[in-house]
Amino acid sequence: MAQLRHDLRTPINHIIGYSEMLLEDAEESGNDSGAGDLKKIRSAAQSLLGLINTRLSSSGVAAIPQSSTPLMPSEDHPNRSEKHFRGRVLAVDDNRENLNVLARRLARHGLDVETAESGLAALDSIRSHAFDLVLLDVMMPGVDGYAVLRKMKSNPETRDIPVIMISALDELESVARCIEAGAEDYLPKPFNPTLLEARIGACLEKKALRDAEQGHLRKIEETQNRLDKELAEAAAYVRSILPAPTQSPLPVSWKYRPSSELAGDSFGYHWIDSEHFAVYLLDVCGHGVGACLLSVAAINVLRSGSLPGIDFRNPGEVLTALNNAFPMERQNNLYFTLWYGVYHAPSRTLSFSSGGHPPALLLEPGPGGLFTSQRLSSNGMIIGVMEDTPYSTQSCALPVGARLFVLCDGCYEIRNASGDMSDYNAFEAFMTGNAGATDPLGDLESWAIAMRGESTLEDDFSIIEIQFPA
């Protein structure tokens, strides 16, 4: 019965479509001499279409009366101004007359129209051309509209093209099936010109918005990729300025694990002269580009000794000069903490000063292979907060076999899954118990990761170990 209704309605749709276009041509030209006859033809066709829809069914065949009044009244379209759209549309129908009516209707709206008379031809066109909209007939021999729709929606390159299904079948099951398969909308034949115009406009607008959104997303992705590349280059530079581990004359090793791409931690060590060895570690507040830039700037000053008139063998004098050189109001309100020490090799004496930084940990060997610990800090103010702040220098002797650990707070302030945070006491106990291990810094890093419960730490992890043999 559905197939019979389809076959009967197709030629009637042609009559309705052509009569409507001829009426519109007459309205535009001002010559309406035949408009009355065209309206009668259209009205009769619509009435006949209504009879087919309602009477040609299992329940309606037996109840057909001897005479019947029109079930679909005539619809006039006086002086309706058609909207013009921009876009490329593919119209698909196995009936050439249907395609002709539809293509002419679409061309009236200023659209670039291409046609296909089968599902396979439609798929070939979709693969070889870019379309903004597809108007797709449901019932076609071979590859029908449902199959074309499914193939389009399963292909990432075509799934975003909006599809309006057009069919003489007006059952809800067909509508639901098309929408579930991904169709944007559904139009019954013969289509109402006003409704067709509205739905084409809505689909093209949605497609334009989607294309614009995809364009913005591509630009964002390109920008993000460029930023990621630049951040990776910056991170590589930060790592490149870190000194290499050494074995002679002092064994020095370190661990560096930034919490983000660009860290606020940096450190270094070098011989000031043949007798004095400097070691320093600073930690800028926060993370990211700003913190990294300040960290690199400050560490390069220490590496190059570019503070005029300053004796870099005097830790307190160095911190006082750095505090005046990097006031936070000129560093985007960023400040940093610092531990700076100088080892005098002939006397085995370590001088040091610190500004807001965690104490360095000195481990001294004792009887039975055990180590005792000592915290080295001068309790100075954070660098950059208050100009002309004096920083003091303290000193201690380093026995044979001593080990010095200079670190940031990220090495011990580890928050676990429960939200509890460890402290310096836990770090000190761990290092005292593991000082004799083959790789105490690697063991500390594993301890921090295990405590955190994930590989990414909440803060930067930086620590230097210096051994002082005989």
Query: Would you state the pLDDT for residue 3?
Result: 65
Same domain membership, residue 253 and residue 145: no
pTM: 0.63
pLDDT, residue 423, reads 96
Q: What pLDDT score was predicted for residue 313?
A: 98
Same domain, 136 and 26: no
CATH of the domain at 396: 3.60.40.10
| Least trusted range by pLDDT, from 71-80, 313-322, 356-365, 386-395 | 71-80
Quickly state the pLDDT bin for 83 (edges 50, 70, 90).
confident
Q: Which of 187-196, 363-372, 391-400 has the lowest mean pLDDT?
A: 187-196
Percent of the residues in the chain that have a pLDDT greater than 90, as a whole number: 61
**Are residues 65 and 200 both part of a single domain?**
no
Whether 105 has a pLDDT exceeding 90, the answer reads no
- Res. 74: pLDDT tops 60: no
Mean of the per-residue pLDDT values for the chain? 88
Residue 361 maps to a domain: yes
Judge if 339 and 279 occupy the same domain.
yes
Give the whole-angstrom CA distance, residue 362 versus residue 37: 107
pLDDT value for 63: 53
My answer on whether 63 and 102 are in the same domain is no
Q: Which of 187, 205, 223 is the last residue of a domain?
A: 205
Phi, psi of 81 (to 5 degrees): -85, 125
Is the pLDDT higher at 199 or at 352?
352
How many angstroms separate the CA atoms of 43 and 234, rounded?
Answer: 75
- Are residues 342 and 428 both part of a single domain? yes
Residue 289 has pLDDT above 80, yes or no: yes
Q: Which residue has the higher pLDDT, 237 or 424?
A: 424
Contact residues for 244 (Cβ-Cβ < 8 A; gap 6+): none
Return the higher-pLDDT residue of 1 and 270.
Answer: 270
Whether residue 67 is predicted with pLDDT greater than 50 in this model: the reply is: no
For residue 170, which phi and psi values (nearest 5 degrees)?
-115, 20
Pair 454, 401 in one domain: yes
Structurally, how many domains does the chain consist of?
3
- 48 or 140, higher pLDDT: 140
Q: Are residues 295 and 403 in the same domain?
A: yes
- What's the pLDDT at 76? 44
Given 205, 229, 256, the domain boundary residue is: 205
Task: Classify residue 192: in a domain, yes or no.
Answer: yes
Considering the domain boundaries, does residue 226 fall inside one?
Answer: no
**Is there a single domain that holds both residue 276 and residue 404?**
yes
Where does the pLDDT of residue 6 fall: very low under 50, low under 70, confident under 90, or very high at 90 and above? low
Show which of 78, 94, 109 is a domain's final residue: 78
Based on the fold, state whether residues 55 and 172 are members of the same structural domain.
no
**224 part of a folded domain:** no
Write down the pLDDT at residue 169: 62
In a domain? residue 214: no
Average the pLDDT over 20-46 and give the result. 77
Has residue 234 been placed in a domain? no
Least confident range from 75-79, 219-223, 253-257: namely: 75-79
Q: What is the mean pLDDT of residues 68-84?
A: 48
CA angle 186, 188, 192 (to 5 degrees): 105
The predicted-structure confidence for 143-182, as pLDDT tens digits, reads as follows 999 999 999 999 999 999 999 998 876 666 777 888 899 9
Q: How confident is the model at residue 71 (pLDDT cuts 50, 70, 90)?
A: very low
**Are both 65 and 130 inside the same structural domain?**
no
- Residue 55 included in any domain: yes
* Orientation of helix 424-434 relative to helix 440-452, angle to 10°: 140
User: What is the tens place of the pLDDT at every residue in 194-220?
Assistant: 888 899 999 999 889 988 998 999 999
Residues 271 and 417 in one domain: yes
Residue 223 domain-assigned (yes or no): no
Q: Is the dihedral of CA 121, 122, 124, 125 positive or negative?
A: positive
Q: Return the structure tokens found at 383.
A: 């660098």
Q: Residue 107 is part of a domain; what is its CATH number?
A: 3.40.50.2300
Task: Give the domain range for residue 122.
Answer: 82-205
